[in-house]
Amino acid sequence: MSTRVRKAVLPVAGLGTRMLPVARATPKNLLNVFDRPILSYVIEEARAAGIEHFVFITSRGQGPVEDYFDGNPEIEEALAAKGKDDLLAQVRHDLLPPGSMSFVRQMAPLGLGHAVWCARDIVGDEPFAVILPDMLMMAQKPALAQAVAAYEQVGGNIVVVEPVPESETHKYGIVALDGKGGRLNRMTAMVEKPAPGTAPSNLIISGRYILQPDIFALLEKQGKGSGGEIQLTDSMVELMKTQDFHALEYDGTTFDCGDKIGLLRANVAFALQRPEFAEAARKAIGELL
Ligand code: UTP
């Protein structure tokens, strides 16, 4: 069994109701953050963390996610003929080596836990990452690479977390820690969307995980939880009875691109970060304000 984290599961089979009506026609992870699809940033982050195989959990309407990873000879030849090498490199940026992607169908949106369980045969018996692609992370050292470094330090299971205001905790999965010293701490509990005022901390589970394959057997018999969905959090709570879980408070900023204002914020932030566009972006935003 490999102990290195080589595979990542990317569930994209949710209904994306918060992004309707646009998500009716376009998979939400292909919506743009400035000039690239959300997915492009996430793939870059995963590759920087050493991920070699990408397991997408898809559903009806998510076909364009698979097509995104095809080459486009017409565009590539035209750019090459015109000597537009920079643009050509950008167009080819996300093309992954043959054999490094799998697409698994989740036939009904039964929940994130069920989506991850759908990857069991392809992941096999090795630790793996889970990446929620709509949670976009801006960080000097890519967020998943920070999680992998934590995993190499303490092993077991890692959940990337971040603080939010107390008033926001009821919207997320929340972790409880065994004391707090530095950014990497042992976890004692997790709860999915706690009722207002009952959260054990203000640290939310922010969409990057490193899990041991033992989670699959628990997901297999996991009943419905919060929201009537099969929740990954509930099986992680079960696994925590026999294995170590650490919460990593990562160094960076998260944008929830599954939310309309979150996606807007990401667009502004990532445009401002691009040296060649920053000044024009600042001017355009200033004029609008
Ligand atoms: P979300 O809670 O963001 O759900 O799921 P969603 O359906 O995408 O969006 P809303 O809330 O309806 O707007 C977190 C992640 O889990 C995936 C989603 O695609 C998203 O990446 N997911 C969720 C699945 O793959 N299958 C499911 O059954 C549920």
Q: Where does the pLDDT of residue 169 fall: very low under 50, low under 70, confident under 90, or very high at 90 and above? A: very high
- Does 180 score more than 90 pLDDT? no
Distances (CA, A) of 33 to 28, 91, 136, 256, 268: 11, 15, 10, 12, 8
The whole-number pLDDT of residue 91 equals 87
Q: Report residue 249 as tokens.
A: 């408070």
The Cβ of residue 167 has, within 10 Å, a number of other Cβ atoms equal to 10
Residue 134 CA to ligand 1 center (angstroms) comes to 9
Which protein residue has the closest C-alpha to ligand 1 atom 22?
Answer: 14
Q: What is the pLDDT of residue 227?
A: 87
Q: Give me the mean pLDDT over the 96-113 stretch.
A: 96
- Measured from the Cα of 11, ligand 1's closest atom is 25
Pocket flag, ligand 1, residue 57 (CB < 6 Å)? yes
Burial state string for 220-255 with b = 16 or more CB within 10 A and e = fewer than 16: eebeebeeebbbbbbbbbbbbeeeebbbbbbeeebb
pLDDT computed for residue 1 by the predictor: 56
Strand 32-33 with 36-37, pairing: antiparallel
Q: What pLDDT score does 3 carry?
A: 86
Q: Is 16 in the pocket of ligand 1 (CB under 6 A)?
A: yes
Residue 94 has pLDDT above 90, yes or no: no
End-to-end, the C-alpha distance of the chain in Å comes to 56
Query: What's the mean pLDDT in 91-111?
Result: 94
Instruction: Please write the tens of the pLDDT for every residue from 189-221.
Output: 999 889 998 999 999 999 999 999 999 999 999
The CB of 112 under 6 Å from ligand 1? The reply is: yes
Nearest ligand 1 atom to the CA of 259 is 13
11 lines ligand 1 (CB under 6 A): yes
Across the chain, mean pLDDT equals 94
Average pLDDT over residues 231-248: 96
Mean pLDDT of 256-280: 96
Tell me the domains of the chain and their CATH numbers.
7-288 (3.90.550.10)
**Percent of the chain surpassing pLDDT 90:** 88
What pLDDT score was predicted for residue 192?
87
Give 263's pLDDT tier (boundaries 50, 70, 90).
Answer: very high
For tokens 């304000």, the residue is 289
CA atoms of 63 and 209, how far apart (whole Å): 25
> pLDDT of 217-230, one tens digit each?
999 999 999 889 99
Q: Which two tokens stand for residue 56?
A: 């997408």
Any ligand 1 atom below 6 A from CB of 115: yes
pLDDT in tens, 27-74: 999 999 999 999 999 999 999 999 999 999 999 989 999 999 988 889
103: phi then psi, degrees, rounded to nearest 5: -125, 120
Tell me the mean pLDDT in the region 245-265. Answer: 96
Please indicate whether residue 12, judged by its CB atom, sits closer than 6 Å to ligand 1: yes
In this prediction, residue 179 has a pLDDT band, given cuts at 50, 70 and 90, of confident
Please report the pLDDT score of residue 2 as a whole number.
Answer: 64
